[in-house]
Chains A and B, each alone.
Chain A
Amino acid sequence: MTEKRLFIIEAGRKERHYWADLWRYRELFYFLAWRDILVRYKQTALGIAWAVVRPFMTMVVFTLVFGKLAKMPSENVPYPILVFAGLLPWQLFSNGFSEAGNSLVSNANIIAKVYFPRLVVPAAAVIVSVVDYMISLAMLGALMLWFGFAPDWRILTLPLFTLMAAAAAVGAGLFTAALNVKFRDFRFIVPFAIQLGLYICPVGFSSTAVPEQWRILYSLNPIVGIIDGFRWAVLKGNADFYWPSFILSLVMIVLMLIGGITYFRRTEKAFADLI
């Protein structure tokens, strides 16, 4: 007979086995993400092809509108690639953040009736965004092929920036997820913040446009560092690597993650009662 674990259930008890528990429930990350992706395309005619169609159409529109019609200046990088390089990491963060924020409330039925470490739910939501991001990344690859724009060694650093964007989404998402359970206002606050964020973050423009004396302050926004880094990795030396924004970004992301996890775990016990 295998040794049975002893659980002590007590008010205010710190769950010492939380991380071991998370590891035991690791497959649930996969299953919840799998469920969300599968459900999206159920009973559709195009099915899973939709996952490719949307980024593909975005790419086509960008190329036509910004590249051919508006003829925006873009040094020696095709404009669609320039915009995509900013859009991709932003979408990974913003989708991950907003989905994670709503994830607890939308999974209220299982949270109220089954035990599992609640951290799985927002994390699975971010995983779904990462999957979407991968597909869009493939579109970026197709774009670069189209324009004959081959990347150099810097592209190998892409996983690092992907990880940073996902971590930022998880960190911020855990906060809003936990808050949303008690104060449903966040259902409205988050989309609004993301809309603002699209203009504040250097998606539609390069962060070099920010005046030098404000650049450090600007880099306190962790997304800036991520997008800068992403652009640097993809655009083959046509974007400079700005160390301060990278370091600041890393620090902020770590802080957000730790803060998010701490707050989440502190409020986790009351979720089933509030939800």
Chain B
Amino acid sequence: MTPVIEALDIGKKYRIRHQNQPRYGTLRDTIAHAVAGLSKRLLAGRQRGEPGTAPEEYEEFWALRDISFNVNPGDRLAILGRNGAGKSTLLKVLSRITEPSCGTARVKGRVASLLEVGTGFHPELTGRENIFLNGAILGMTKADIQFKFDEIVSFAGIERFLDTPVKHYSSGMYMRLAFAIAAHLEPDILVVDEVLAVGDVDFQNKCLGKMASIGEEGRTLIFVSHNISAVERLCNSAMLLSGGRIAKMSADIADVVKGYIGDAGVAEHAEWTNSGDQYESVWFKPTRFGLVDASESPAHSAVRHNEDVWVRIEGNIRQRNALLAIGIQVYAEDASLVFQSYHTDRDSQTSTLGPGEWKFMLKIPAALLNEGSYKIELVAVLFDLEWIIEPRTIAPAISLVVKGGLVHGPYWTRKRLGVVAPVLDWRCVPTSTSASPD
């Protein structure tokens, strides 16, 4: 089966320009410097940065390097990586938007790329007009758009607002419309870049469903995302980019995801301390966050399955707010969220916290989490209003490892499958005369 994409040694280099500031800047120096720079530029010809300009002014930055991979028809490839790893650059090269600095890629079939939601939308035009405009920009013919028009409108769910200028749309409608148009492109290869990063759960599910059906139709999908569960649902192979190079590529998605999590820096510490002015907020500023044992001494981050562990959060509140909720989010090894818990969860504890220093203690009971590594993030929110400490992006995190302590029943001798491993109460009641305990 011939690959539908064959990339060999693709690299992309950018030139970063540095402002060359003289150390003691007099007006005379500044003018002299500007004139010298201008004459240098003119003499060197039109191409700035080509040989002839001062070497210290430009730094070479390789956004991509030694990228070689193959994609077969019908593959659904996920591209993972930290921000700045080169994912969007790779997509741009494959979509022919920008040229590689070296290397070759052979692409068989039409590529449609969705690098941004609503590319080319003009706010003054109505939804109807923008469907045609956006479709044409993405490469559909007018007849094509007309044929699929009703499908697009019903997928987006904006029948009522079809003739209103798009500037009046809510952000949700905007995104649904933009994705609806792109979803009906029917290219041979569809390249999607993190467009699921925004949008509510319904929208994300709709997008995933559409992309799954694209996969079923035998088209190739290249999908960049930070949404691990979407990747696991949709894709049959994954590539991890790190610093512009391919760190891992295989059909074992879980393995690549592990590499990504490791790259993204799983917290290695059992305690976090505020270095001074992090997370400044009048509502709640955390000062310390860590695992402790029952006597409030710092605990080791490894606990046994049959032990309780406490999380201690310390911080100060400068201004009271009834909407304040402090919480934790616990993530498993694959970055999926296991559970959240907020200090306001029990009714009896919901009273507004006044200004001052506060300490929160919460117990993660024994026999809840299964063996494994977890990441606990400290989050804080003004309920339904705004994040004070937002999860997954900036929240401080500590690690928790659950290992050993499986001393419950005789048939539970090693780690079971499952994210949680509770020890539940079973009642065994005989319902016939012949049954009786030993």
Which A residues form the contact surface with B (CB < 8 A)?
4-13, 25, 27-28, 30-31, 34-35, 38-39, 42-43, 109-110, 112-116, 182, 269-270, 272-273
Contacts and interface: CB of A to CB of B under 8 A. Distances in A.
Nearest to B89: A273
A27 B136 CA distance: 7
B108 interface: yes
B105 interface: yes
Contacts of A43: 124, 165
Interface stretch (B115-123, B153-161, B304-312): B115-123
Interface residues of B, number: 42
A114 B121 CA distance: 13
B129 interface: yes
A113 B133 CA distance: 15
Nearest to B129: A38
A38 B125 contact: yes
Contacts of A7: 96, 106-108, 111
Interface of B: 14, 46, 48, 92-111, 113, 115-116, 119-120, 122, 124-125, 129, 132-133, 136-139, 141-142, 165, 188
A103 to B, nearest CB: 14
A9 B100 contact: yes
A60 to B, nearest CB: 30
B133 A9 contact: no
A110 B119 contact: yes
A28 B136 contact: yes
A39 B125 contact: yes
Contacts of B106: 6-9
A112 B141 CA distance: 21
Contact of B104 (A9, A34, A116): A9
Nearest to B14: A273
Given A11-B101, A114-B138, A273-B98, A6 B133 contact: no
22 contacts: A4-B188, A5-B110, A7-B96, A8-B106, A9-B104, A9-B106, A10-B105, A11-B99, A28-B137, A30-B142, A35-B125, A112-B97, A113-B113, A113-B115, A113-B116, A113-B119, A114-B113, A114-B115, A114-B119, A115-B95, A115-B111, A182-B48
Contacts of A28: 136-137
Given A6-B106, A8-B104, A113 B97 contact: yes
Contacts of A113: 97, 113, 115-116, 119
Contacts of A273: 14, 98
A112 B14 CA distance: 15
A116 B137 contact: yes
A-B residue pairs, 7 tightest by C-beta: A31-B136, A4-B109, A9-B105, A269-B99, A42-B124, A7-B107, A115-B96
Nearest to A270: B99
> Which among B99, B101, B142 has the greatest number of chain A C-beta atoms within 10 A?
B99
Nearest to A107: B120
Nearest to B119: A113
A28 B46 CA distance: 31
Given A28-B137, A109-B120, 12 more contacts: A5-B109, A7-B107, A9-B99, A12-B99, A30-B142, A31-B132, A35-B122, A35-B133, A38-B125, A39-B122, A39-B124, A114-B95
A115 B97 contact: yes
A262 to B, nearest CB: 14
Contact of A115 (B100, B113, B133, B142): B113
A11 B100 CA distance: 5
A8 B105 contact: yes
A147 B426 CA distance: 104
B97 A272 contact: yes
B141 A27 contact: yes
A181 to B, nearest CB: 12
A213 to B, nearest CB: 36
A31 B133 contact: yes
A9 B93 contact: yes
A9 B122 CA distance: 31
Contact of A272 (B98, B119, B122): B98
Given A27-B136, A116-B139, A273-B14, A4 B110 contact: yes
